[in-house]
Amino acid sequence: MSVETTADNEYNFEDKFEKHLRYVFYMKPLSENPKCDTSKLEFFGVLSLKDVLKPERKLWCIYHCRQPDIDRTIDALREKYGKKNMYEIFRRPIFKGAALRAGVKKHFTDLKWFVKGNLLEAPPKSHFNDDRVIKSVTDVYNIERQKLHNFMAMKLHWRNQRW
């Protein structure tokens, strides 16, 4: 189920989450043109790697960093693994990059993948491709967002019961 659906019977997760946060922390409603400090945004991304020496290997590299460091981080990864051999398949703003990185690593470790540092390698003769990796990472991303939403909803419920 997509989080950003617009059907009548479903909700937009981002809007509902923002309303909960503003209510819990007694914040004013969001203005028409919000001013956001982009240097504090953190991003999580996945790069698809192609091994020139062994094309049958399926590799992906995960990273997380703040907004101003994205170019530097990707350049360092391209320098390490080869500029022509990689392209980005996933990038999203997140609350905490290290937590999502740990969740992604655990998810793929449970699938019996080879996980070392920031590299993810599918087992030989695996059915995984870039689309399936994107779907898996998006599912883990949505689970992490849902955990944060549930925590905020629990705090709101606890506060309402105390009063």
Q: What is the DSSP string of 14-31?
A: HHHHHHHHHHHTTPPPPP
pLDDT at 32 over 80: no
Q: Provide the pLDDT for residue 96.
A: 79
- What CA–CA distance (Å, rounded) separates 106 from 100? 10
Q: Where are the domains of the chain?
A: 41-162
The confidence score (pLDDT) of residue 31 equals: 63
Mean pLDDT of 152-161: 83
CA 62, CA 98: separation in Å to the nearest integer?
Answer: 11
pLDDT at 28 over 80: no
pLDDT in tens, 99-153: 889 999 999 999 999 999 899 999 988 889 999 999 999 999 999 889 888 988 8
Does residue 5 carry a pLDDT above 50?
Answer: no
How remote is the C-alpha of 130 from its chain's centroid?
A: 15
* pLDDT of 59: 92
Residue 3, pLDDT above cutoff 50: no
Task: State whether residue 62 is helix, strand or coil.
Answer: strand
pLDDT one-digit tens code per residue, 50-105: 887 888 889 999 999 998 899 999 999 989 888 788 899 999 988 778 888 999 99
